[in-house]
Amino acid sequence: MYRVIPALLLSLIAVTAFAAAPAFDKIDANKDGALSVKEAASAGISKKMFTSADLDHDQKLNMDEYKALMAQFK
């Protein structure tokens, strides 16, 4: 439960930057700590956005990559 709090703060920042952005933890449906293309799509992240945000090209967005993506919408 405690680890939800920083995520919540981050999501507040993200919401300011990108109105439609849900918290990373909410998008991460299988809770593996990374967003698949499918999970990202459920949050309105297009394949094109996903690809540009996937800096290490592992076909997943980790928290840092997600944050970097959201930062582009400031």
Helix or strand run (H / E) with residue 67: helix 63-71
Per the DSSP assignment, residues forming a β-bridge with 61 are 35
**Shortest Å, Cβ 31 to Ca ion:** 7
List interacting residues with Ca ion (CB under 5 A): 28, 30, 32, 54, 56, 58, 60, 65
Q: Which is nearer to Ca ion, 16 or 45 (CB)?
A: 45
Q: Which is nearer to Ca ion, 16 or 58 (CB)?
A: 58
**Shortest Å, Cβ 32 to Ca ion:** 4
Q: Which is nearer to Ca ion, 16 or 31 (CB)?
A: 31
**Shortest Å, Cβ 47 to Ca ion:** 14
Q: How far is CA 40 from CA 1, 6, 74, in A?
A: 23, 20, 19
Inter-axis angle of helices 63-71 and 4-17, nearest 10: 30
